[in-house]
Amino acid sequence: MKNLTQRFGNHVFEPVWRSREMLLGRAIEQDIAPWLFEQGSLTRRIVLNCKNKFRVEVLSQQWQRPMLNEALRLGVHPEHYAFIREVLLYCGDIPWVFARSVIPHKTLTGPRRSLGKLGTRPLGEILFSDPSIQRDALEVAEIKKGQRMFSCATQCLFTPPESVWGRRSVFYLHKKPLLVNEVFLPSILSK
């Protein structure tokens, strides 16, 4: 890890992701915990809780280097490019969730090439409709001002809070990984 940090810079500006077990003793707001630890489709849960129309706004879809923590989680080299998709999930006109998906090149081969062309279709709709896709354990993080993920997630907010909570997990499509980060914006708690 020391060599990677020396070569790719200090990653203190990235969230510290922890498993549920490693969160013991850390205060998590009671309202956000059910969203953080939802095992099913987050898209489906938003649709069920949103009295207004659900929609996806694509912020960015491009080949770029993943963040160091993302590359390490996926087991890919930090210098290798991945297809990164950033979207906002809306309830009516209010953004509830910022999602950042990181798809390594090897995952976007064969029939999975279509994942690079989702447009406004939610990724969760695809991931949870295919029973062959496996998902590893959720990790959560308190994402704070000054961290790159915070800036990405809260760019749509007029007055960002001091921190937001996020979760992530790796999905395996025929043993090929895909990382999904989901950051919960304050408006999700005001439903």
In tens, the pLDDT along 19-56 reads 877 765 566 777 888 899 888 889 989 998 888 799 99
Which region, left, alpha or beta, applies to residue 71 given φ > 0 means left and ψ of -120 to 50 means alpha?
A: alpha
Tell me the pLDDT band of 10, cut-offs 50, 70 and 90: very low
Q: Would you say 91 and 54 are in contact if contact means Cβ atoms under 8 Å apart?
A: yes
- In this predicted structure, what is the pLDDT of residue 130? 81
Residue type, 46: I
The terminus-to-terminus CA distance of the chain in angstroms comes to 42
> What mean pLDDT do residues 50-67 have?
92
How far, in whole angstroms, is CA 138 from its chain's centroid?
Answer: 11
Domains of the chain (ranges, CATH numbers):
2-190 (3.40.1410.10)
β-strand 82-91 against 54-64: which pairing, if any? antiparallel
Q: Would you say 69 and 15 are in contact if contact means Cβ atoms under 8 Å apart?
A: yes
- In this predicted structure, what is the pLDDT of residue 6? 44
- In this predicted structure, what is the pLDDT of residue 165? 94
Most confident of 8-22, 25-39, 51-65, 112-126: 51-65
Tell me: pLDDT of 140 over 50: yes
- Measure the CA angle with vertex 43, ends 42 and 49; round to 5°: 85
Portion of the chain with pLDDT greater than 90, in percent: 52
Pair of tokens at residue 80: 């290798």
Tell me: pLDDT of 86 over 60: yes
DSSP 114: G
Q: Which of 69, 106, 104 is nearest to 85 (CA)?
A: 104
Instruction: Specify the higher pLDDT residue, 111 or 33.
Output: 33
Pair of tokens at residue 47: 């649709």
**Number of Cβ within a 10 Å radius of residue 131:** 6
Average pLDDT, the chain: 86
Q: Would you say 14 and 148 are in contact if contact means Cβ atoms under 8 Å apart?
A: yes
